[in-house]
Chains A and B, each alone.
Chain A
Amino acid sequence: MAALPRRIIKETQRLMQEPVPGISAVPDDSNARYFHVIVTGPEDSPFEGGLFKLELFLPEDYPMSAPKVRFITKIYHPNIDRLGRICLDILKDKWSPALQIRTVLLSIQALLSAPNPDDPLANDVAELWKVNESEAIRNAKEWTRRYAMDN
């Protein structure tokens, strides 16, 4: 394996020294490109009180290519599908090498505060979110309680 680029070392150091509030990202002991991430459900969102596990992987050509991020904890959200894949523009065509792990995680946190059912990945969830928002929010709270608490 090639030596870890300076960019990754710098980013990791900063993530450890000044962590983003509500987010913890720790590199794996055996693979410095693989991060164990925990995002706290934002206040005043249906995910409040939950702790969501994610995995984040920096591909070989990072930062020219976007990191690969996935939710491991089940979550009821219109932009996150059953497999935990996230629909977020900066992880796709809006990726810029000037963005960082930190900015990606902040964007994911923001997505939990403000779901966007008009750009859906989980179609059934997005549909319910549009036609019956209160029921969708009830489901999201229920899933948070069931899958993202006490573990």
Chain B
Amino acid sequence: MEEMAASQENDSEMDCSDNEDCYDYNDYYNDEDSDVEHIDLLKIDPEYFEYKCLSEEEIERLLNETVEDLSNRLRISLSLAKVLLHSHYWNSNEVIVKYEENPQQTLISSRIDPPVPPRNIIFTPTHMTCPVCVTLHHVDRFFYLSCAHMFCKDCWTMHFEVQVNQGISTAISCMARDCVVLAPEDFVLKHLQHKTSIREKYQHFTFQDYVKSHPELRFCPGPNCSVIVHSNEIKAKRVVCDQCKTIFCFRCGCDYHAPTDCQVIKKWLTKCADDSETANYISAHTKDCPKCHICIEKNGGCNHMQCYNCKHDFCWMCLGDWKSHGSEYYECSRYRENPNIAHESVHAQAREALKKYLHYYERWENHSKSLKLEEQTLGKLRARINEKVMSGLGTWIDWQYLFTAANLLAKCRYTLQYTYPFAYYMDAGPRKELFEYQQAQLEAEIENLSWKIERAETTDRGDLENQMDIAEKRRTTLLKDFLDV
């Protein structure tokens, strides 16, 4: 163990030279034990992710600590520290390095100071006309930011009120034409002193902006959920919200999408939305039995179909014989590209591109439907078990393993669904071949598991648990090899 820890430490150190993710390796040395543990956990579980679900108050405290710390180190006001942090995605170290190197330039690029310093302000008159309200006021009533553009108190207040009502907060700038200087928090709040509801709105919006600009924070996308997730690892990993149980990707905040990465899944979902009409005809609920041609309706999630008429076993996706399918699942999930397509006409290429897309889309869509159907199966299962328990056939605890199996099935099929966009965008080559091989393996084991769960009462418990184990192993193997976050 001692030796292993040491060598892992060296690896990580090497990585740090060109890896921006190693920003907190101070913690790494202080917290050696837990980090070794962390690496071990990642080896077992490629989806392992450390995060905390926090409340707005806890996040506010966390942000305030960062702000105070920077304000002390650079001897600037809290308000300016906030502007600097917000414009640097809350990376204190970057702000400090930049500021120590060139404070003036840092203040200009963060829009705290104007690009050209203002001329000296000399108050000769006792009264001045405000350029916005064109009213003569005593000079006491004038206020200005670092750019020295002077406006009266009432105009500033009105300006902030209108901006906040439009949802603008951290981006409010000076009122002068083409002036880019931002109004820092203390300046805004001072002018909204007597406007309680606008003040509150302003503080709400700034908080939203701060969280959104902070790469280590992510609002839970669950409906009406106020949880904010914090993690030091800015990665596309799975988060389950403590409060509302929503599952999402930490990096992009969308539905979790391993093994596909954030950009690719976005591209895929956009493509699916754009091509939804072309793909519409696919959503068939019925197909004809390939042997006796009787019409079969799919009412379960499992893609291993058995004709109720002739008992022929076939695959719902490709209509191939299920018996040979087991060993050649590969032929069902992968798409065989035409190797000579480059020499074909533009028209043929377009047709081929559509065919390829539909192949992947059909499978993506089918697994998504299967997930929903399997949820219904689980409901029916729960009702049947309830009956059994009521009539004295075992206890709920005895039947618990079936629910565990159903949950595992859902988790595996979810990953399987997201392997299709991954494969669609993959370049041909040995890596894609390996991926398709593992995908086919996972696919086969998932359908076996689904088949067994649908026939739960007659399936042997040991057999089912064995199948669960195999399916999850296939899933983890695929993620270990291809989840690159």
Instruction: Confirm or deny: A1 has a beta carbon within 8 angstroms of a beta carbon on chain B.
Output: no
Give A94 to B151 CA distance when docked, in angstroms: 18
The minimal Cβ–Cβ distance linking B302 to chain A, given in whole angstroms, is 49
Interface string of A83-101 (1 = CB under 8 A from B): 0000000000010111100
Q: Are A5 and B133 in contact, with the CB atoms below 8 A?
A: yes
Q: Are A63 and B132 in contact, with the CB atoms below 8 A?
A: yes
Q: Which of B135, B162, B177 contacts A98 (CB 8 A)?
A: B177
Known: A6-B135, A10-B134, A63-B132. A96 touches B162 (CB 8 A): no
Interface string of B156-196 (1 = CB under 8 A from A): 00110111000000000001111100000000000000000
Known: A96-B175, A96-B176. A6 touches B162 (CB 8 A): no
The minimal Cβ–Cβ distance linking A10 to chain B, given in whole angstroms, is 5
Contacts of A64 in B (CB 8 A): 155, 158-159, 161-163
Contacts of A6 in B (CB 8 A): 133-135
Instruction: Confirm or deny: B118 has a beta carbon within 8 angstroms of a beta carbon on chain A.
Output: no
Give A115 to B133 CA distance when docked, in angstroms: 33
Give A97 to B155 CA distance when docked, in angstroms: 9
Known: A6-B133, A7-B132. A65 touches B176 (CB 8 A): no
Find the A residue at minimum CB distance from B174: A96
Contacts of A97 in B (CB 8 A): 132, 151, 155, 159, 175
Which of A5, A63, A98 counts the most B-chain CB atoms under 10 A from its CB?
A: A98
The minimal Cβ–Cβ distance linking A50 to chain B, given in whole angstroms, is 29
Instruction: Confirm or deny: A61 has a beta carbon within 8 angstroms of a beta carbon on chain B.
Output: yes
Contacts of A98 in B (CB 8 A): 131-132, 149, 175-177
Contacts of B175 in A (CB 8 A): 96-98
* B interface bracket (residues with beta carbon within 8 Å of A): 10 to 19
Give A10 to B175 CA distance when docked, in angstroms: 19
Find the A residue at minimum CB distance from B171: A93
Known: A97-B155, A97-B175, A98-B177. A7 touches B134 (CB 8 A): yes
Give A112 to B149 CA distance when docked, in angstroms: 32
The minimal Cβ–Cβ distance linking A142 to chain B, given in whole angstroms, is 37
Residues facing A in B290-312 (CB within 8 A) are none
Q: Are A96 and B134 in contact, with the CB atoms below 8 A?
A: no
Give A99 to B158 CA distance when docked, in angstroms: 16
Find the A residue at minimum CB distance from B173: A96
Q: Are B177 and A96 in contact, with the CB atoms below 8 A?
A: yes
Residues facing A in B132-160 (CB within 8 A) are 132-135, 149, 151, 155, 158-159
Q: Are B179 and A65 in contact, with the CB atoms below 8 A?
A: no
Q: Are A65 and B132 in contact, with the CB atoms below 8 A?
A: no
Contacts of B155 in A (CB 8 A): 64, 97
Q: Which residues of B line the A interface, CB within 8 A?
A: 131-135, 149, 151, 155, 158-159, 161-163, 175-179
3 closest Cβ pairs, A-B complex: A64-B162, A96-B177, A97-B175
Excluding A6-B135, A96-B175, 16 further A-B contacts by CB distance (< 8 Å) are A6-B134, A7-B132, A7-B133, A7-B135, A10-B134, A61-B158, A64-B155, A64-B161, A64-B162, A96-B176, A96-B177, A96-B179, A97-B151, A98-B131, A98-B149, A98-B177
Can you list 26 A-B pairs, Cβ within 8 angstroms, ordered by A? A5-B133, A6-B134, A6-B135, A7-B132, A7-B133, A7-B134, A7-B135, A61-B158, A61-B162, A63-B132, A64-B155, A64-B158, A64-B159, A64-B161, A64-B162, A64-B163, A94-B178, A96-B178, A96-B179, A97-B132, A97-B159, A97-B175, A98-B131, A98-B149, A98-B175, A99-B177
